[in-house]
Structure formats: structure tokens, C-alpha cells
Amino acid sequence: MTAVLVAYAGKTGGTREIAEVIAEVLRDHGLSVRVLDAAEVTAVQEYAAVVLGSALYFHRWRPEAVRLLERNAEALAGRPVWLFHSGPCGPGAGTARVSLPARVALLAARIDAERTETFGGRLDPAKARGVVARLVASGQRAGDFRDWDRIRAWASDIGRRVRIRVPL
């Protein structure tokens, strides 16, 4: 059995890289882990625990992450689920805490997910497509604000909890 699913949703790879680091830490805890784009997840029954993260765009989660929660709500309610989102960039990104968008908050409550973690994001002007994205990615907010130590510490805590809660 694959013990843990780490699913991610984003547009320019920043959230996928966070998911990959989380998976690496979980593997260090002796867990078997599968990393998937949220759009590729058809079912979660085979996993004992799930970590799901989305990039924030205009205060929303990516639709494929929301769909994963909607379509698998019943199965997710029966397993430990950890949620994170990545987005804040610029000064203050490291300490920013973003609330879940309303629809996602309802789904999180329905599946009794653990408290959501906020991680800084990455805004790369070279990757921004479209006028708005280029505008958002310019100036002080441009750069990589993902705090790998915090991400690793969060993942390590999950690793310990999964080892306690899930018989493998």
C-alpha cells in the first residue's frame, strides 16, 4: 500500500516543488509516498493519509485541488488530511497566514482536515504569462519566498503523526 499521497495544484511549478520536498521528508520517516498533480488523482482509498496543497491565485485555490476535495470528501473524511497553500510573496511573506477560501474551508470542515498551513510562494517574472500575471510578479513581490526549513519542519511533524496514527 502507498501510505501517503502528496497532491498539489499550481500553475508555474512552485507548489509542485513544495510537494516534492514534503514527499522527500516523509520518505525520510520511512513512509512510502506518491506525489501527484491534483488533476491526476482519481481516488484516495489506497492511501492511509493525504497531504494536499494549492497555489493561491486571486485568493482562490486552483480548481483541480477543490475538485479533489469535492469528489473524494467521503473517503478523505475517513483518513488524516493535511492542507497547505502557497502564495504570499514580498515583504512579510514569511509570517503571512492566509485563511482558506470560503468554499475550501467548508470542505476542510466536512473532512475534518488538520489546520491549514500557509507557505510563501515564488513569483518569477520570466514565468508570468499575461499582463496581469506580469504586473503581479513585478517589483518587490518578485522572488522566491518559500521557506524550505519551515516546509521541512511541517512535513516532519506530519511524518511523525502518520507513523503514530496509521498502522503500516
Binding site for ligand FMN (CB under 6 A): 10-15, 55-59, 86-89, 98, 121-123, 128, 132-133, 136-137
Q: Which amino acid is at 138?
A: S
Shortest Cβ 49–ligand FMN spacing (Å): 22
Shortest Cβ 40–ligand FMN spacing (Å): 15
Pick the closer one to ligand FMN by CB: 110 or 125: 125
Shortest Cβ 159–ligand FMN spacing (Å): 23
Eight-state DSSP code of residue 101: P
For residue 2, the tally of other CB atoms under 10 A from its CB is 11
Pick the closer one to ligand FMN by CB: 58 or 164: 58
**Residue 81's beta-bridge partner residues?**
50
Eight-state DSSP code of residue 55: E
**What is the distance between the alpha carbons of residues 30 and 28, in angstroms, rounded to a whole number?**
5
**How is residue 135 written as a grid cell?**
504586473
Eight-state DSSP code of residue 139: G
**Residue 36's beta-bridge partner residues?**
7
Pick the closer one to ligand FMN by CB: 98 or 166: 98
CB closest to ligand FMN, residue no? 10
Pick the closer one to ligand FMN by CB: 97 or 115: 97
Shortest Cβ 119–ligand FMN spacing (Å): 8
Pick the closer one to ligand FMN by CB: 62 or 79: 62
Asked if 145 and 122 count as a contact pair (C-beta separation under 8 A), the reply is yes
